[in-house]
Amino acid sequence: MSAWNFIQNIRDNFKRKEPLSDEVVEGFLRVLEKIRTEDVTCKEVFEQLDQYVEKEVDGRDAARLMPLLREHLDMCSDCCDEYEALLEVIEKSTDI
Ligand SMILES: [Zn+2]
């Protein structure tokens, strides 16, 4: 089933109450498209990297709590370098 058909089905289910406009449907489609194609951007990773590293340093399962971020780190060497640098800084500061 294509994403478009999926949305159309959702829209049909809502028809008895209040029909969704094409704009709303297209908005859903854009969200689905974003999830499927982009995953997480480097900007989003940079914004959340400190949270991720803090969880990891706390001994919590950061990879399970933030799986998309973990996945991005595995694929993106830029973000991975940043992650390792940050991890080193935080580990050193907690050792004191
Ligand atoms: Zn990246």
Among candidates 83, 90, 48, 82, which has minimal Cα distance to 68?
A: 48
- The arithmetic mean of pLDDT across residues 51-57, rounded, is 94
22-34 pLDDT per residue, tens:
888 888 887 776 6
Q: Residue 34 C-alpha to ligand 1 middle, in angstroms?
A: 16
Q: Is pLDDT of 91 > 60?
A: yes
Residue 65 C-beta-side C-alpha neighbours within 13 Å = 13
Label residue 53 by pLDDT band (50, 70, 90): very high
Label residue 16 by pLDDT band (50, 70, 90): low
Question: What was the pLDDT predicted at 54?
Answer: 93
Q: Residue 74 C-alpha to ligand 1 middle, in angstroms?
A: 9
- The arithmetic mean of pLDDT across residues 40-63, rounded, is 92
DSSP string, 29-84: HHHHHHHHHT-S-HHHHHHHHHHHHHHHHTT--HHHHSHHHHHHHHH-HHHHHHHH
